[in-house]
Copies of this chain bind each other. A is one copy, B any other.
Amino acid sequence: MLARIAFIGFGVVGQGLAEILLEQKEDLKKNYGFEYSVVAISDKMKGAVYDEKGLDLQQLLNVVKTTGKIEDYPEGITGWDSLKTITESNANLIIEVSWTDINTGEPALSHVKAAIGCHKHVVMTNKGPIALAARELMSMAKTNGIEIRFEGTVLSGTPALNLGVNNLANSKITKIAGIVNGTTNYILTEMEKGLSYEDALKQAQELGYAEADPTADVEGYDALGKIVILTNVVMDGTITKDQVPCEGITKITAQDIEAARSEGKRWKLIAGAELKEDGSVEAYVRPEKIPLDHPLAAVSGPINALTYTTKYLGDVTIVGPGAGREATGYALLTDILDIHRKISR
């Protein structure tokens, strides 16, 4: 396969992937027979450039770092918006890395549908479209004979989704429970060290772990999107986020932290999903007191983790980064190679 790649969005994650693609170019060709050419980049803020013969990715990264404007790249067609880039460029693989809107999924949802509609493969780390419409998108992709992948929507590059979907596929998963939001885990870890909620939040904001408006993290909405994805993609569920009870960490006090400690436990914001006897799956997001000898209890700071409870293996837990430029870029690379392997058969 010669992948002709279009980046839709070119922020931290997109640039992270671009750097990995450049660094591994020779290895990817040698080890997997995977060759690529980046033909288009379209970013709402930074502008767009398209060249059907391929762009010089290193030069593009330099231009973006120097002037911040993609259109300062010296060649190619400029000015194409995201939908035009998706539908009219000669790209056959769309990297959807625009911004996340967990409520509408837009504009990413429209990007993905447009790509599927014109028979182009899609990889993304944006959980908006997948939390809202995973099964619809997978079904559309199947109908149109193309592949979509989204490993990075949960635990970024940590292969947590792949573990459930592939490696544990026949283990009979009955429950998923995890720490899927690094911001709240960092805050809880700092509160254990003695900080108040307010001070821990402020520290998380200063370190860039929390946004100026921390609502999506601390109220559990980010975790909610991720458990909906896990439920529908790994456990074959059909839930929407409105059906999931969601409680964040804003009510946890220093007294609660101390009370848990005296029980030999530790507060964690847990996103979970459980298979019921009738075959349905119930999901939730809530703070739970985890015994110190459970693998999730030892997961501190911005690190994430997910435990699959299975019939044949008991509990299997994976622990790794939940965010970050390189980790999320790596998620996209694994998705790209997975598609490459699939369609090269």
Contacts and interface: CB of A to CB of B under 8 A. Distances in A.
A171 B330 contact: yes
A27 B315 CA distance: 22
A142 interface: no
Contacts of A20: 312
A257 to B, nearest CB: 16
Given A167-B163, A293-B298, A298-B292, A320 B327 contact: no
A18 B44 CA distance: 56
Interface in A289-312: 292-295, 297-300, 305, 311-312
A124 B322 CA distance: 34
Contacts of A167: 159, 162-163, 167, 334
A345 interface: yes
Interface string A309-345: 0011111111111000011011001100100000001
Contacts of A28: 170
Contact of A327 (B312, B321, B326): B312
Contact of A158 (B311, B313, B329): B313
Interface in A278-298: 292-295, 297-298
A168 B159 CA distance: 8
A182 interface: no
A59 interface: no
A311 B19 CA distance: 13
Contacts of A337: 169-170
A238 interface: no
B314 A317 contact: no
B320 A170 contact: no
A220 interface: no
Contact of A313 (B163, B292, B330): B330
A294 B169 CA distance: 28
Interface in A199-251: none
Given A163-B163, A170-B330, A298-B297, A317 B316 contact: no
Interface in A2-55: 20, 24, 27-28, 31
B320 A313 contact: yes
A171 B169 CA distance: 23
Interface string A151-174: 000000111001100011111000
18 contacts: A20-B312, A157-B171, A157-B313, A159-B163, A159-B168, A170-B334, A171-B330, A293-B300, A297-B298, A312-B326, A313-B326, A313-B330, A314-B321, A316-B321, A317-B318, A317-B320, A318-B318, A345-B345
Given A292-B298, A295-B298, 16 more contacts: A27-B170, A31-B169, A159-B163, A159-B167, A170-B330, A170-B333, A170-B334, A171-B330, A295-B295, A298-B298, A312-B329, A313-B320, A315-B320, A316-B320, A317-B319, A317-B320
Interface of A: 20, 24, 27-28, 31, 157-159, 162-163, 167-171, 292-295, 297-300, 305, 311-321, 326-327, 329-330, 333-334, 337, 345
Report, nearest first, the 8 A-B pairs whose CB atoms are least far apart. Answer: A298-B298, A159-B167, A316-B320, A345-B345, A312-B330, A317-B319, A312-B326, A295-B319
